[in-house]
């Protein structure tokens, strides 16, 4: 049976059976070495829930935010702000409030609606400002 392995430069090379045993031993040692943080084994759950590398959003939702009835159609109506020099942020906020005022939800306040929908109106680098 032919066994192939990738070198550090990314090229494929054929591996002999004696070097295969030594590679398996090295892999086994690197996986069980607790001092090596980079080679730590990640579970499937770890891959599904990656470590957060960015700061959490600065938007803090009020207690009634869990009662918000989200309708995806409203996202299409929201104005989009990219943060370009040509765009006026005050005009964007005025348009955004106009769209939010047309959306009525008896289960939560208008502030909750605005806070929940605002991230959907931001695109590109502006999303990192939150």
Interatomic CA distance for residues 27 and 19, integer angstroms: 12
| More confident call, 17 vs 116 | 116
Q: How many alpha carbons fall within 13 Å on the CB side of residue 37?
A: 0
Domain segments of the chain: what residues?
3-48, 63-129
Q: What tens digit of pLDDT does each residue of 57-86 get?
A: 778 888 877 777 878 888 899 999 998 889
């Amino acid at each position: 049976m032919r066994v192939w392995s990738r070198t550090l430069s990314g090229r494929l090379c054929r591996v002999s059976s004696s070097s295969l045993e030594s590679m398996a031993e090295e892999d086994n040692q690197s996986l069980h070495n607790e001092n090596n943080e980079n080679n730590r084994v990640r579970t499937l759950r770890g891959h599904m829930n990656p470590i957060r590398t960015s700061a959490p959003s600065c938007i803090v939702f009020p207690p009634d935010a869990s009662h918000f009835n989200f309708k995806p159609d409203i996202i299409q109506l929201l104005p989009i702000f990219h943060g370009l020099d040509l765009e006026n942020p005050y005009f964007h906020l005025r348009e955004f409030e106009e769209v939010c005022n047309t959306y009525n939800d008896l289960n939560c306040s208008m502030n909750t609606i605005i806070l929940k929908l605002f991230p959907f109106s931001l695109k590109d680098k502006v999303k990192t400002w939150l």
